[in-house]
Structure 1
Amino acid sequence: MGFIAHIRQKDGCIQTVNEHLREVQTECERYGMKIGVRHLAGLAGLLHDLGKNTTGFKTYINEAAANPDAPPRRGSVDHSTAGGRLLYQRYHQKAVTVEDKLAAEWIANCIISHHQGLRDFLDPQLLSPFLERVAVKELEEYEQAVAAFFENYSERELDHYFAGAKAEIQHVLNVIKKQSLPSITASLLIKYIFSCLIDADRTNTREFEEGEVTEEKIDSLAFFGKSYRKLMDTLMEFEQAEDADHPINRLRSEMSRQCEAFALRPSGIFTLSIPTGGGKTIASLRYALKHAITWNKERIIYIVPYTTIIEQNAKEIREILKENDMILEHHSNVIEESDVEDESDYIRRKKIRLAKDNWDRPIIFTTMVQFLNTFYAKGTRNIRRMHQMANAVLIFDEVQSVPTKCVSLFNAALNFLHVFGRSSMVLCTATQPALDFVKHKLLLSDQAEMIENLDDVGKSFKRVELIDYTTPLGWKTEELAAFIQERLDEVASVLVILNTKTAARKLFVQLEENKRSGNRPVRLFHLSTNMCAAHRKEVLAKVKQALSAKERVICVSTQLIEAGVDISFDCVIRSLAGLDSIAQAAGRCNRHGKDEVRHVYIIKSAEEMLTRLPEIRIGAEKTQRILFEFQQEPERFGHDLLSASALNAYFQYYYDHMKDGLHYPIRELEKNLFDLLGTNKDYFEGYKNKHGKSPEFLTRSSFATAEKHFEVISDTATSVLVPYNQEAESVILALNGELDTRSLGELLQKSQQYVVNIYSHELKKLEKNGDIYPLLHGHVLALREVAYSDRFGVEAEGEGEWAMAML
């Protein structure tokens, strides 16, 4: 029978090591081929489990299969080091060229890391965990593992294959040099190879475990062709509607046509600066489908800032395309990946790890957090999806929401996807954040803007006037509530957007009291990310229904409502924040331009504590500077606070203030993450001083250290399932039972709309009150019914609304 890779739990069927390696190699090659690293990825697949060719591992896996409830200690037999060591000994220690060394280093690190996450080449202790594994660690039965491998794969064959990997390295280095790309690009290439290996290995293992036949690949091109025809039918209906000749609708149609024409251009990084309310969801879909068909792209991925927008945009596109199974929404991970696996729970952990989560659909909706996690988060779960972004169309909705500290990392990821991934990126927003002006800039294509004559378009879309009502001391809750009532004497609907959940909640309670003592009826609504996605969706539906019925409406919300939510109020009141946020809030006022110019009031809330929200605080300061300059010299900004010149000045002030914080600073290390994955000069020089010589390897990246410190949101949030409705309660109940991998994956998918992300201080409070309990053997947390209300969602106080909304 030979050596064993896996034993199927349900029937004892065996997958040999040779079968597993060959099958994983084939998939790795297919993924790697998309960006020209077929051999680099293929070698990772071919050698990743070479260490299972030992008597020790064969004994271990037989014992694990025979005793699933009490298996041997996880990791007691090291099977992931041998393949990396073979590469290091055979090609690195005998290296003739730079390409020999780099190919061996890159592939070897992927192999030795495929159960935990990429190792540091250089770590903060000025040691090399990579070198320790491939050159120093004692490996029992290593020679047996290598000899068994070469019984199925000749040495000459391996050398020839490695030569192919060397050629790919040479090409990669030439491109990096020619394009003047930063050294972090090499780290992203290693991560891409790692992504190929992780997904191929997990997929092959899952298919064997479940006894599945390899799934037939989806014909994306045929799906995109069918979808394009459905979209054009819908657009034809729009053009035949009664209000098709309204100036705003004519402008929307014209911009949509410009997007289609732009789709014929080769891949690049482009901007789509359609004003708020200009129909960018449909226009960007039209571009994406046409571009995918023209240039044979495999996938269209929408990346949005808030989970709220996922449901709305996905629903809009589902209603047009009518293909639910082809559209995947990925919000947040219900089960967070931990550093140390519970060794007594091997089978259950294995099921969770293998649950399908690899973005295998033609259209994906996800968040900015998930996008950045795919490139930079720790472990193996997120990186698995990275290769799916190659040869794709990526639409970034409200791209100004990229967290400031992640700007350089975001730009590096997009530049990589364009230059190596052959993908097209579209930055959609009415408030472009000038990402091409920062130090590690975005490589926008020539003539990158899709829409012609933007200044004229902006004037045609003018529907609101910003009015500065800020005061030095700020507005107290009672004063603001009275001001809202005054506005409601003039108009039928008012939206109030505040920066913190505490301030919003306090205002809502005050308005409830006023409503009880008032004579005129008014519908009062509250929104925050303490509510799960399904809850917010239902509240928004009720708000829209009330607005359509011409009822008097007040909605108090945090900023989750201001980006991408298709809703229109007669008046908006926005607490002072970044000018881009205020512009987005203004997009919720007179959205369709059917009324005369309406008012958006900028106020400063006295109730907001922004100490834990530095980006909002600094943004507010820079907006105040723009407001002052506008008072002194309005012609400088074309007499419009929402003009491109005003927003450009704001972003210049903001990024100049934050310039040292754009590269993801890590205070504990006095380093930044961009450098740890790039030149890493300090650790390199430190290693030389400590050891009296340069490292034996050329790659300097501190992968594990960088990933350990990476969080899109600074204060770690924990995903908690909430019992919002009967379906949520049934999901919670099901997750307490025994599940196979497929059922688990489906339940985790369904549970995403019932998740609230809770900060650590809030979680401690809930735990202290006994309002949190574990599911799925401790891997999922659920909230008790008493701690969730229809008015406020999770009943835990705290700030950090902006951060919470992005998860």
Structure 2
Amino acid sequence: MRQNGTAGGTGGPSGIDCRFSSMTGYFAHSPKNGIAAQTYAAHIRGVLLLARRYAKEAGSYLVKDDMKFLRLIENVAAFHDLGKLDEENQKVLSGELSASVLPLNHVDAGAAYWLQDQHFSALTAAVIQAHHRGFPDFTAEQNKGDFIFRDAAIARLVDSKLSVYDDLHQRLIHDPICFTNCDEISSDRSVFLRMLLSCVVDADHTDTSHHYTKNQSKDEQIQLQPDKRLKQVNQYIEQLKKTSDAGERNRLRELMYVACRDSLVFAKISSCDSPVGTGKTLAILAHLLVLAQKRGLRRIFVIQPFTHVIEQTVETYREILTLPGENPEEVVAELHHRADFENENIRHLTALWQAPIVVTTAVAFFETLASDSPAALRRLHELPGSAIFVDESHAALPAALLPMAWKWMKVLANEWNCYWVLASGSLSRFWTIKAIAGDQLNFEVPEIVDANLRKQLAIYERQRVVYRYDPKAKSTAELVEWISSVPGPRLVIMNTIDSAAFLAHQLAKTCGRTKVEHLSKSLKSEDREATLRKVRLRLENKADCDWTLVATSCIEAGVDLSFRIGFHELSSLASLLQIAGRINREGLLERAEVWTFTIAEDGMLKQNPGLKQAGEVLKHYFEKGQVISPELTTQAIADEIALYGLNSKYKNILTNETLQNFVSVERDFKVIESNTNVALVDKEWVSKLSGGDLNWHELQKVSVEISKYKLNHFKISKIIDDLYYWNLGYDDFLGYMAGVIKQKEAQTEFKNLK
């Protein structure tokens, strides 16, 4: 319902003008830590300047509605803080009074302004309302009737003062903004709204941080320069050829690189099903650089399923892609967990997508697309006009989330000029499954590698490993005995962080610490990197055979490691195929074994309920003697959906996205069901944070993600917002699970004493 009013008038309720005119200035942010208050005029002009820039950058890739996109952003930027001009708010903002929150919700006035008949724009009002708290569910918002996109508790009070706010605003800003008829758009409405909010929030946060000297200037962003970086990749590959051994695997890798780099692709989404160990990470990078040059793309995203894979990829990319005089960390951004914070004091820790090459996880990437949070959406406007490589795409998302993700992929490709490559050694062509793609089964997703080369690669892959299955559920003691009895080096993959850490702990107690390594997200980034370096050195030492690496699925994809034998706790077919890629990787052994097993829950061995259905499908294939191969991957997803269907919650995501029910979409689109928070594990870094000496690059290296259940169960203290300090104990072998295991063992001993 449109609101009536008299915006633009100079009058107002008796006495208000007098109080306003007696003030010496009007402020948007209060004085803090010795820094003067920021004036309202300076902030609005600063946000307008930045928002226009972001809108033009992102909007240049928008196929339709580009001018409406710019105008709507100008509308929001100009009036987003209109309510701060209220006399009670000014007392706090000027520093006259001290308060943790403003007396009057300052967001409501801007929304009210754009809901008036004379310049009605519901989209502008919606984004203004959302710029601090995020988008609501629009279905619920519509049920508010006359108070849609308004704060009903203060709406009438704000309406009575609106003309005064408007008059002050016009006198302070001198930048007449009143663009109407911008609400009718042909682009996907939900993605369009998120992009609008992204530009404005980033401008708002950036201008504010500049004022308080937390400098995040974007004036000198490094450009992609795909031609120059491609030249360096080519040179790197030529050097590899000179130092590599002659052999079938390396010959195929060379063919793979050339095929990807020189592929003539005209589609907006393509695929690559190259087996593991064929060098697709660099081959597809070269392909993306060529496409970026041809299509005028500004950024490359590499989406990987697991954190440690990012670390290996980033190390290689920085070595190859950094041009003379550049800072490698600014060329290739390494984003582990989302680390999004609303609190103004730690906003500078928010990880943004500003580098020319961004390497991040599927969780961080896709949950950003699903978000209604301003802190998370702040980075989204950097995505249009990008090449996006979803590496090991089979592991990126659970099947239930693929319908929504597929829609976003098509929207970003068709409307925002993004180019996608979906790649995996066990590629699932989910877009050919009706339950996922719906009625659009004819969407073209061509291969970037020709059929003949793919056939050669597949033949080599089938000669490398043999798959075995042991149906008897095994206890911890049985697993330790079985694993340690076979020649190594051995790789064991468990389905939960708890199980991996506990099994590693028990192997160390039974066989000795030198006989076991452990890798999972219970370790902070720098310790995962150190563990990987140690594992590589041990694998290079052919005399060092009697040891085991126990890991979670984080080791499945994208890591160039090769073990003699593999053990895989029953989960998905795609997971098994990826683990096989870490066994006999160079084909030096004749058909090495990969065993699949199940666990008997005892002590801290825990099954992962999220993998039960996919595991049942794989178990069925073993029981009926099905030949395990990458060709089965798409069928496995189709079989899982046929047997178990798609949970109604996930079916509703598409409906809620269409209805702009943003809260519901964010709530239900969870790549990993267990909610986690970021936790520091070193007290020294807690002190640095409180002193403002910790940036988001450092935060990623010295923190871990821990489930909210564990944080609550162990009563872990919160530092600020959703950032915690883990005080139960941490070591570089088991990570934060060292503290959990110590607690559990102490509880067991206490029970035994009783």
TM-score by length of 2: 0.84
The DSSP-based 3-state class of the residue aligned with 1:499 is: coil
What is the deviation of 1:197?
A: 1.2
Is the CA contact (8 Å cut-off) linking 1:270 and 1:426 kept in structure 2? yes
Aligned match of 1:254: 255
Judge which range, 122-131 or 27-36, deviates more.
122-131
For the structure 1 residues 445 and 246, does the alpha-carbon distance in structure 2 shift closer, same or farther, using more than 3 Å as the test?
A: farther
Q: Which residue identity lines up with residue 195 of structure 2 in the other structure?
A: Y
**2:633 corresponds to which of 647, 650, 656:** 647
What is the deviation of 1:712?
A: 3.4
Q: Which residue identity lines up with residue 146 of structure 1 in the other structure?
A: D
Identity within the alignment, %: 22
Aligned match of 1:541: 533
The DSSP-based 3-state class of the residue aligned with 1:596 is: coil
The DSSP-based 3-state class of the residue aligned with 1:133 is: coil
Aligned match of 2:3: none
For the structure 1 residues 49 and 765, does the alpha-carbon distance in structure 2 shift closer, same or farther, using more than 3 Å as the test?
A: closer
Aligned match of 1:683: none
What is the deviation of 1:123?
A: 1.9
**1:111 corresponds to which of 128, 133, 142:** 128
The DSSP-based 3-state class of the residue aligned with 2:94 is: helix
What is the deviation of 1:468?
A: 2.7
Aligned match of 1:731: 685
Aligned match of 2:148: 131
Aligned match of 1:321: 321
The DSSP-based 3-state class of the residue aligned with 1:84 is: helix
Aligned match of 1:751: 699
The DSSP-based 3-state class of the residue aligned with 1:439 is: helix
What is the deviation of 1:657?
A: 3.2
**1:525 corresponds to which of 517, 525, 541:** 517
What is the deviation of 1:469?
A: 2.6
Aligned match of 2:599: 605
Q: 1: CA distance between counterparts of 2:309 and 2:416?
A: 27
| Superposed CA offset, 1:287-336 (max 9, x none) | 12222222221111111111111111111111222423222111124565
Is the CA contact (8 Å cut-off) linking 2:467 and 2:628 kept in structure 1? no
Aligned match of 1:669: none
Aligned pairs for 1:720-799 within 5 A: 720-723=679-682, 730-736=684-690, 738-739=691-692, 743-744=693-694, 746=695, 748-767=696-715, 772-775=716-719, 780-784=723-727, 786-788=729-731, 790-791=733-734, 793-795=736-738, 797=740
Aligned match of 2:273: 273
Aligned match of 1:60: 92
Aligned match of 1:715: 674
Q: 2: CA distance between counterparts of 1:353 and 1:513?
A: 44
Q: Which residue identity lines up with residue 642 of structure 1 in the other structure?
A: S
Aligned pairs for 1:71-86 within 5 A: 71-86=98-113
What is the deviation of 1:451?
A: 1.5
Judge which range, 321-330 or 415-424, deviates more.
321-330
For the structure 1 residues 440 and 387, does the alpha-carbon distance in structure 2 shift closer, same or farther, using more than 3 Å as the test?
A: farther
**1:88 corresponds to which of 107, 115, 124:** 115
Aligned match of 2:465: 465
The yes-or-no answer on 1:40 pairing with 2:64 is no
**2:242 corresponds to which of 240, 243, 263:** 240
What is the deviation of 1:438?
A: 4.2
Aligned match of 1:691: none
Is the CA contact (8 Å cut-off) linking 1:399 and 1:432 kept in structure 2? yes
Judge which range, 288-297 or 503-512, deviates more.
503-512
The yes-or-no answer on 1:353 pairing with 2:296 is no
| Superposed CA offset, 1:114-160 (max 9, x none) | 111113322299546961508882215211122334457899x655x
The DSSP-based 3-state class of the residue aligned with 1:602 is: strand
Q: 2: CA distance between counterparts of 1:522 and 1:535?
A: 17
For the structure 1 residues 660 and 215, does the alpha-carbon distance in structure 2 shift closer, same or farther, using more than 3 Å as the test?
A: closer
Q: 1: CA distance between counterparts of 2:214 and 2:494?
A: 53
What is the deviation of 1:674?
A: 2.6
Q: 2: CA distance between counterparts of 1:522 and 1:55?
A: 69
For the structure 1 residues 710 and 583, does the alpha-carbon distance in structure 2 shift closer, same or farther, using more than 3 Å as the test?
A: closer
| Superposed CA offset, 1:699-722 (max 9, x none) | x42223443555433232222112
For the structure 1 residues 128 and 320, does the alpha-carbon distance in structure 2 shift closer, same or farther, using more than 3 Å as the test?
A: farther
Q: 1: CA distance between counterparts of 2:335 and 2:93?
A: 34
Q: 2: CA distance between counterparts of 1:495 and 1:383?
A: 39
Q: 2: CA distance between counterparts of 1:601 and 1:259?
A: 33
Is the CA contact (8 Å cut-off) linking 2:74 and 2:177 kept in structure 1? no
Q: 2: CA distance between counterparts of 1:611 and 1:2?
A: 62
The yes-or-no answer on 1:49 pairing with 2:69 is no
Is the CA contact (8 Å cut-off) linking 1:474 and 1:604 kept in structure 2? yes
Aligned match of 2:10: none
Q: Which residue identity lines up with residue 30 of structure 1 in the other structure?
A: K
Judge which range, 532-541 or 212-221, deviates more.
212-221
TM-score by length of 1: 0.79
Q: 2: CA distance between counterparts of 1:78 and 1:134?
A: 8
Runs of at least 5 residues in structure 1 that lack an aligned partner in the other structure? 94-103, 173-184, 338-348, 635-639, 666-671, 679-699, 724-728, 799-807
Runs of at least 5 residues in structure 2 that lack an aligned partner in the other structure? 1-23, 323-327, 742-754
Is the CA contact (8 Å cut-off) linking 1:497 and 1:575 kept in structure 2? yes
What is the deviation of 1:369?
A: 1.4
Q: 2: CA distance between counterparts of 1:300 and 1:92?
A: 39
Aligned match of 1:375: 369
Q: 2: CA distance between counterparts of 1:212 and 1:790?
A: 37
What is the deviation of 1:651?
A: 1.8
Q: Which residue identity lines up with residue 274 of structure 1 in the other structure?
A: S
Q: 1: CA distance between counterparts of 2:645 and 2:733?
A: 42
| Superposed CA offset, 1:662-697 (max 9, x none) | 8626xxxxxx2332222xxxxxxxxxxxxxxxxxxx
The yes-or-no answer on 1:330 pairing with 2:326 is no
Q: Which residue identity lines up with residue 337 of structure 2 in the other structure?
A: S
Judge which range, 527-536 or 607-616, deviates more.
607-616
Is the CA contact (8 Å cut-off) linking 1:270 and 1:445 kept in structure 2? no
Aligned match of 1:12: 36
Is the CA contact (8 Å cut-off) linking 2:430 and 2:634 kept in structure 1? no
**1:676 corresponds to which of 637, 644, 656:** 656
Q: 2: CA distance between counterparts of 1:19 and 1:449?
A: 48
Q: Which residue identity lines up with residue 329 of structure 1 in the other structure?
A: E
| Superposed CA offset, 1:386-417 (max 9, x none) | 11111011111221220333222222221221
The yes-or-no answer on 1:426 pairing with 2:428 is no
For the structure 1 residues 538 and 129, does the alpha-carbon distance in structure 2 shift closer, same or farther, using more than 3 Å as the test?
A: farther
Is the CA contact (8 Å cut-off) linking 1:411 and 1:441 kept in structure 2? yes
The DSSP-based 3-state class of the residue aligned with 2:284 is: helix
The DSSP-based 3-state class of the residue aligned with 1:81 is: helix
Is the CA contact (8 Å cut-off) linking 1:404 and 1:615 kept in structure 2? no
What is the deviation of 1:794?
A: 2.6
For the structure 1 residues 540 and 650, does the alpha-carbon distance in structure 2 shift closer, same or farther, using more than 3 Å as the test?
A: same
The DSSP-based 3-state class of the residue aligned with 1:141 is: helix
Is the CA contact (8 Å cut-off) linking 1:408 and 1:662 kept in structure 2? no
Is the CA contact (8 Å cut-off) linking 1:54 and 1:145 kept in structure 2? yes
The DSSP-based 3-state class of the residue aligned with 2:490 is: strand
Q: Which residue identity lines up with residue 780 of structure 1 in the other structure?
A: L
Is the CA contact (8 Å cut-off) linking 1:32 and 1:193 kept in structure 2? no
Is the CA contact (8 Å cut-off) linking 1:464 and 1:598 kept in structure 2? yes
Q: Which residue identity lines up with residue 261 of structure 2 in the other structure?
A: E
Aligned match of 2:448: 450
For the structure 1 residues 21 and 277, does the alpha-carbon distance in structure 2 shift closer, same or farther, using more than 3 Å as the test?
A: closer
Is the CA contact (8 Å cut-off) linking 1:60 and 1:77 kept in structure 2? no
For the structure 1 residues 122 and 145, does the alpha-carbon distance in structure 2 shift closer, same or farther, using more than 3 Å as the test?
A: same
The DSSP-based 3-state class of the residue aligned with 1:569 is: coil
The DSSP-based 3-state class of the residue aligned with 2:134 is: coil
The DSSP-based 3-state class of the residue aligned with 2:333 is: strand
**Root-mean-square deviation over aligned CA pairs:** 3.2
Aligned pairs for 1:490-529 within 5 A: 492-512=488-508, 514-515=510-511, 523-529=515-521
**2:614 corresponds to which of 619, 625, 635:** 619
Aligned match of 2:406: 411
The DSSP-based 3-state class of the residue aligned with 2:674 is: coil
